[in-house]
C-alpha cells in the first residue's frame, strides 16, 4: 500500500501515484506494458488475477514485474510529515529519513514497563509516569510477614493481603517453572536429535576415512612395488637377465679317449660394459654326438669347477679335457641359469646345489 497524500508537505505529482490505491507509490513496480503500481498492490493482484491491473494485455506473472529504481529515489526525496502528527509531532522529514525519525520520535506510543500497569503513553512521558504516577511502581517490601514487594497503589489503598500475594507469587513461580520445564524438554529433544545427527555424521566420516586409508594404502603398495621394479630396472644393465649359478655334477664316459668338449681359460663377461672377462675354466665347444653333447650334458659357457679333484690344464689357454686312465670322468661345473623375475630383471640368487648322474 502507498503513502497517504495528506501526509506530504505540498502537492504530489500525479505520475507518482498508484493507479490501484491512488496513494503515493511505495516500492514501485512496473509491468511489461509500462504501468507502475505499488509492490503491495500489484503483487497480490497478479498472483490472483494473472494479468495487468490496467487490463491491457494477456497473462502476466510476478516474475515479469520489475523495480523502478529512479522513480523510487525520486519519491524518497519527498517531504513527509511524521506518522505521529496526530499525537503532537510536527516534524517534516524526507521520506528516506522517516524510519530513523520514527525510532526516536518522542510522540510515538510506548507502554509502561511496570508489571500490572500496561498503560500506553507518549514515549517522552513514560519515564515520568513510571517514576511518579504509576500505581504499579514498587515502594518497598511488606513488613507484615510475606516480605513481597509492595506497589504504590497497594500502599495507598491498603489493599495488600499477604496470603493473596503469596498465592499469586507462588502461581507465578509455578507458571515460570512449568515454562522452564517445557523449554528444557524442548531443548533436550533438540539436543538429542542434534547428537544423533552428529553421531551419524561422525560414523560416516570415520567410514569414509577408513575407505580413504585403504585406497591410499592400496595405491601406496602398488606405487612401492612399481618404484621397486623401476629401481631394479634402472639398476640392471640394458638387456640383462636374472641369473643364478647352479652347481652340477656330470659323469661322462669317454668315447675313443675323448669327453667331447673343449675348454677355455676365462670368457667375455656380457654383464660388464668394459668387456672384462670372467675368471675360471669355461666350456667353449661341444663335439656333436660326443659324451658331453647328450641330453642333460654340458653346455657352452659352463664353468668347470673340478675334474676328478685334479685339473692339470692351465687357466690361460684353451685346451681339451686330458685323457684319463678310467673310462668315465666326473666333472663338477657351475652353470648360470635364468631365474624368474618381473620383466626379466636381474636377481641375485643363492647357489643351488644339485647332482645329476649321467
CATH number listed for the domain at residues 5-76: 3.30.40.10
Which residue ranges in the chain fall short of pLDDT 50? 239-242, 270-277, 309-325, 337-358
pLDDT at 281: 80
Cell triple for residue 137? 511502581
pLDDT at 266: 61
Residues written for the chain: 358
First vs last C-alpha separation in the chain: 117
Q: Domain extents for the chain? A: 5-76, 109-161, 243-353
Measure the CA–CA gap between 271 and 156, rounded to whole angstroms.
Answer: 121
pLDDT (tens digit per residue) in 278-333:
567 888 888 877 877 776 677 877 777 776 644 443 333 334 344 444 555 555 55
pTM: predicted TM-score of the whole model, two decimal places: 0.44
Give yes or no for a contact between 239 and 355, defined as CB atoms under 8 angstroms apart.
no
CB-neighbour burial class of residue 195 (10 A; exposed 0-12, middle 13-18, buried 19+): exposed
Q: 3-class SS at 22? A: coil
pLDDT at 168: 84
Q: 3-class SS at 15? A: helix
pLDDT at 271: 47
Measure the CA–CA gap between 173 and 95, rounded to whole angstroms.
Answer: 47
Q: 3-class SS at 265? A: strand
Q: Hey, which residues does 263 pair with through a beta bridge?
A: 283, 319
pLDDT at 324: 44
Widest pairwise Cα distance in the chain: 154
The listed CATH number (3.40.50, 3.40.1130, 3.30.40, 3.40.190) that belongs to domain 109-161: 3.30.40
pLDDT (tens digit per residue) in 41-67:
999 999 998 888 888 777 888 898 999
208 phi and psi, to 5 degrees?
-65, -40
CATH topology of domain 243-353: Pdz3 Domain (2.30.42)
Domains 109-161 and 243-353 share a fold: no
CA angle 79, 85, 87 (to 5 degrees): 165
Amino acid at each position: 500500500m502507498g503513502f497517504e497524500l495528506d501526509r506530504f508537505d505540498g502537492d504530489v505529482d500525479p505520475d507518482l501515484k498508484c493507479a490501484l490505491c491512488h496513494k503515493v507509490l511505495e516500492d514501485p513496480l512496473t509491468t511489461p506494458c509500462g504501468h507502475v503500481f505499488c509492490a503491495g498492490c500489484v503483487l497480490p493482484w497478479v498472483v490472483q488475477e494473472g494479468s495487468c491491473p490496467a487490463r491491457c494485455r494477456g497473462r502476466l506473472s510476478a516474475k515479469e514485474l520489475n523495480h523502478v529504481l529512479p522513480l523510487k529515489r525520486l519519491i524518497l526525496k519527498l517531504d513527509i510529515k511524521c506518522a505521529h502528527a496526530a499525537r503532537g509531532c510536527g516534524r517534516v522529514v524526507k521520506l528516506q529519513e522517516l524510519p530513523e525519525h520514527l525510532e526516536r520520535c518522542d510522540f510515538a506510543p510506548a507502554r509502561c514497563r511496570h508489571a500490572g500497569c500496561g498503560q500506553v503513553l507518549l514515549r517522552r512521558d513514560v519515564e515520568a509516569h513510571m517514576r511518579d504516577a504509576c500505581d504499579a511502581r514498587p515502594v518497598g517490601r511488606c513488613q507484615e510477614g510475606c516480605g513481597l514487594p509492595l506497589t504504590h497503589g497497594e500502599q495507598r489503598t491498603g489493599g495488600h493481603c499477604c496470603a493473596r500475594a503469596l498465592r499469586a507469587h507462588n502461581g507465578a513461580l509455578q507458571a515460570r517453572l512449568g515454562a522452564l520445564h517445557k523449554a528444557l524438554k524442548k531443548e533436550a529433544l533438540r539436543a538429542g536429535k542434534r547428537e544423533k545427527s552428529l553421531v551419524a555424521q561422525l560414523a560416516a566420516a570415520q567410514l569414509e576415512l577408513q575407505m580413504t586409508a585403504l585406497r591410499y594404502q592400496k595405491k601406496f603398495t602398488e606405487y612401492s612395488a612399481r618404484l621397486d621394479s623401476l629401481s631394479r630396472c634402472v639398476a640392471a644393465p640394458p638387456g640383462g637377465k636374472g641369473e643364478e649359478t647352479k652347481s652340477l655334477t656330470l659323469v661322462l664316459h669317454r668315447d675313443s679317449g675323448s669327453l667331447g668338449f673343449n675348454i677355455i681359460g676365462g670368457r667375455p663377461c656380457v654383464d660388464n660394459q668394459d668387456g672384462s672377462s670372467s675368471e675360471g675354466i669355461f666350456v667353449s665347444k661341444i663335439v656333436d654326438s660326443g659324451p658331453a653333447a647328450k641330453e642333460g650334458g654340458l653346455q657352452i659357457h659352463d664353468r668347470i669347477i673340478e675334474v676328478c679333484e685334479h685339473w692339470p690344464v692351465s687357466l690361460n689357454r684353451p685346451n681339451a679335457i686330458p685323457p684319463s686312465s678310467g673310462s668315465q670322468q666326473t666333472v663338477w661345473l657351475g652353470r648360470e641359469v635364468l631365474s624368474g623375475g618381473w620383466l626379466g630383471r636381474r636377481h641375485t640368487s643363492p647357489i643351488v646345489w644339485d647332482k645329476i648322474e649321467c
